[in-house]
Chains A and B, each alone.
Chain A
Amino acid sequence: MSKRYVSIWFRHLLADWQAIRRPELKDVPYVFAAPDHGRMIITAVSPLAEQSGIETGMRAADAKAICPGLEVIDDKPDRAKKLLRGIGEWCIRYSPTVAVDDFSNDGLFMEVSGCPHLWGGEREYLKEIVSRLKSKGYTVRLGMADTVGAAWAIARFGRVTPLIHAGEHAEALLPLPPEALRLEQGTLAKLQKLGFYQIKSFIGMPRSVLRRRFGEGFLLRLGQALGTENEIIEPIQVATAFQERLPCLEPIKTRRGIEIAIKRLLKKLCLRLQQEGKGLRSGVLTGYRIDGKIVRIEIGTNSASHSVSHLYKLFELKIEQIRPALGIELFVLDAPKTDDVDAAQEAIWSDKLGMNDKSLIQMLDRVAGKVGPNVIRRYVPDTHYWPERSFKKSLTITELPVSGWRNNKPRPTELLSRPDPIEVMAIIPDHPPKFFVYKNTRHNIVKADGPERIEREWWLDAGEHRDYYQVEDEQGRRYWLFRSGHYSDAGRYQWFLHGFFA
């Protein structure tokens, strides 16, 4: 199947944009100007200003002399490009592949193979785009042809019809001027000098002659327009492998409607995922509103899933975040991240308890969706003696500990994240203290075990070692105390309470 391209040319992109923002400019001629070598050079012209003979590239001062009521607006670099990107995103409703025209920065390209029949044919398709953009306030000219180059040429220089049927683009190019080929200024001047005013006057010449006179770039552009050279356009949004679209006849604005849309999209997507043995890891639902805004919600799962009911529950938690305003006319469901699902394993483990349990994974997904994925933690032992480092966060939900948990040394069930300094009274050095004062309460120590010296890991951080004692007071309350540093270093040691034993 041959490819079809549409080129959209915004005749007054910046001027139209400004007129939409400031309707009071309707009857005033205005231009955009940017500083260049100390002068203000006009970069964009409004239709009214164009009528009085102002062109881009003129000096703003000259233009003001020609047209006294002229308003000059400061232009910013890249403003046109950003604007085109925004409009391009809106145009994704017409075709998934939309690209910004990098050559002239005043238009868009769309690859529309297989799209127009949804709007009832190519002519209706073009009409729809023009009228929709016009209702927003942009005057555009379209061109539709088999190649990007031909579409570009027809949109800007075509005089007969914007719609060039399949296979007729070479013929349609013949009467057009050489500017239609997207050539550089130098080449154009040469062609002008030689008297080539139309493409048909040089298209029949041998390639070697054209290459010698005009260079390789000229032949590339000619080939791109005729379809002998391949041209790749860079889409604004790369379409994901797993994507489902749901255009709506009537704009959807109720919660119930959105729920039905999500269910339908999920059903289609999950069927495809299941057939390919894949499961969704992250999903994005995009809603295109009729006022041109885009609303988006995202979900993620802990393990690949293609279960409609489970994924729907995850989306259900986020439906409230969608603001439909006047209504949503197109829903797109993407699965940017997918993983393989082992179907055999799923069957064997389905009724076995453990970390692979399906209901557990689904519950975790819901928690991650509502509260956030970073609240869920699992710990595996780490090979450190330092208490705060004796465990580490597990990366996945099924990671198994490499080393075993040590339980040969007593450890408190509750550990303070910051050890609390305490006052102690110890009679004999390196013996457990006689009593200690913690939060204004005096605890007389009756029984004690220790010391257990834990050295600081000098390759990780600097500081004193700790001598830990497990102590029990006369009421039976058990504590984990430590002395930081050696006893002998007068004044340099400090006692801390670090935890509570069961």
Chain B
Amino acid sequence: MDSKKALIDKLQKDILLWQGYKAQPAGKADTIGLGQIESAFPNGVFPKRAIHEFITFVPEQSAASDGFIAGLLSQLMKEGAACVWVSTSRKLFPSSLSAFNVPTERIIFMDVAKEKDVLWIMEEALKCEGLAAVVAEINDLSLTESRRLQLAVENSGVTGFILRKDAGKKASSIVTARWKITPLPSENEDNLPGIGFPRWRVELLKVRNGSPGWWTLEWEADHFKEVVTEKVSTRIFGQEQRQIG
């Protein structure tokens, strides 16, 4: 039985290799702090040379996505590099990012009038090797545009985040991972009154060469923490159930 599993694992790794996914060198494979979620990605490593798309339908979801992205940025910007945040209608509150360990003064905001300019800036920024990440709030993204962005990312190694504020329109893009972050009721220890750490249902709707799934995650002061609940066994993908307790 074990030998069979080992064989399948090896075959999967080989397939990845043939498709151009190289295993990270041993020392460099630093984690992004997502814990169990990282195993959903090929080779079990969060792809930094990639475009991640976050789809949101309501402002509550985009606020949660902002928080989740900020948590990722805190790891990506650790080395001292800057980040670019491009938008046409930005609502992000700069003073809130410090709660996610993000050095806000190293984020360069660009508020432009046209979506076309957002795309142009994002592509230029993704080509710029001195950056850690680029976050762009875009509503429409065509196949060609997403491919251009992917090419830019592969050369420079900058992580790209696309935040689609109006995901009602289904866009066909070739992003590496598509996420959906929904806020969940928070919980305090020992049932103390008040609101606890922000808790989200993190859904990985699509991931190239990986396995999609969903998790419950909390941001605890300076790191992500996966919340394991009793209902975790009922992993029915895509079900909009209410997850309390």
Contacts and interface: CB of A to CB of B under 8 A. Distances in A.
B109 A379 contact: yes
Interface string B55-86: 00001101110111010000000011110000
Interface in A337-357: 352-355, 357
Contacts of A428: none
A291 B89 CA distance: 45
Interface stretch (A140-148, A183-191, A362-370): A362-370
Nearest to A470: B195
Interface string B184-196: 1110000001110
B172 interface: no
B193 A447 contact: yes
B39 to A, nearest CB: 24
Interface stretch (B3-11, B122-130, B206-214): B122-130
B95 A358 contact: no
Question: Which of B66, B182, B185 has the most A CB atoms < 10 Å from its CB?
Answer: B185
B120 A501 contact: no
Given A414-B62, A502-B64, A381 B95 contact: yes
Question: Which of A394, A414, A416 has the most B CB atoms < 10 Å from its CB?
Answer: A414
Nearest to A417: B91
Contacts of B28: none
Interface in A445-502: 446-449, 470-472, 474-478, 499-502
A472 B120 CA distance: 38
B195 to A, nearest CB: 5
Contacts, number: 174
Contacts of A355: 82, 106
Nearest to A363: B128
Contacts of B94: 379, 391
A406 B108 contact: no
B108 A415 contact: no
Contacts of B70: 413, 502
Given A474-B185, A502-B63, A390 B95 contact: yes
Contact of B185 (A376, A475, A499): A475
Contact of B98 (A371, A376, A407, A475): A407
B47 interface: no
A370 B128 CA distance: 16
A161 interface: no
Contact of A378 (B66, B80, B107): B107
A394 B64 contact: no
Contacts of A390: 95
Interface string B97-111: 111100011111111
Contacts of A353: 79-82, 130, 132
Contacts of B79: 353
A370 B120 CA distance: 10
B149 interface: no
B88 to A, nearest CB: 10
- Interface size bucket, A side? 35 or more
B59 A500 contact: yes
B89 to A, nearest CB: 10
A240 B34 CA distance: 57
A383 B107 CA distance: 19
B134 to A, nearest CB: 10
B63 to A, nearest CB: 4
A379 B93 contact: no
A366 B117 CA distance: 12
Given A363-B128, A378-B109, A410 B99 contact: yes
Contact of A502 (B109, B125, B219, B242): B219
A307 to B, nearest CB: 15
B110 A413 contact: no
A358 B97 CA distance: 26
Interface in A373-419: 375-381, 387, 390-391, 394, 397, 399-401, 404-407, 410-417
Contacts of A417: 91
B91 A415 contact: yes
A449 B195 contact: yes
B110 A387 contact: no
Nearest to B201: A476
B195 A387 contact: no
A131 interface: no
B178 interface: no
A387 B95 contact: yes
Contact of B111 (A377, A380, A397): A377
A360 B112 CA distance: 18
A368 to B, nearest CB: 10
A400 B112 CA distance: 24
Contacts of A406: 95, 98
Given A358-B130, A502-B183, A477 B60 contact: yes
A192 interface: no
Nearest to B196: A447
A471 B104 CA distance: 25
A363 B200 CA distance: 35
A359 interface: yes
B194 A411 contact: no
A412 B128 contact: no
Contacts of B111: 375, 377
A476 B184 contact: yes
B121 interface: yes
Contacts of A363: 124-125, 127-128, 130-131
B110 A376 contact: yes
Contacts of A378: 105, 107-109
Nearest to B89: A417
Contact of A412 (B96, B121, B130): B96
Question: Which of B96, B99, B200 has the most A CB atoms < 10 Å from its CB?
Answer: B96
Contacts of A376: 108-110
A447 B93 contact: no
26 contacts: A353-B79, A354-B81, A355-B82, A355-B106, A363-B124, A367-B110, A371-B112, A375-B110, A379-B109, A380-B105, A391-B94, A391-B104, A397-B108, A405-B97, A413-B64, A413-B67, A413-B96, A414-B59, A414-B66, A415-B91, A416-B91, A448-B195, A472-B195, A501-B183, A502-B66, A502-B67
Interface of A: 352-355, 357-360, 362-364, 366-367, 370-371, 375-381, 387, 390-391, 394, 397, 399-401, 404-407, 410-417, 446-449, 470-472, 474-478, 499-502
Given A359-B128, A499-B63, 5 more contacts: A358-B130, A376-B110, A397-B108, A411-B99, A447-B186
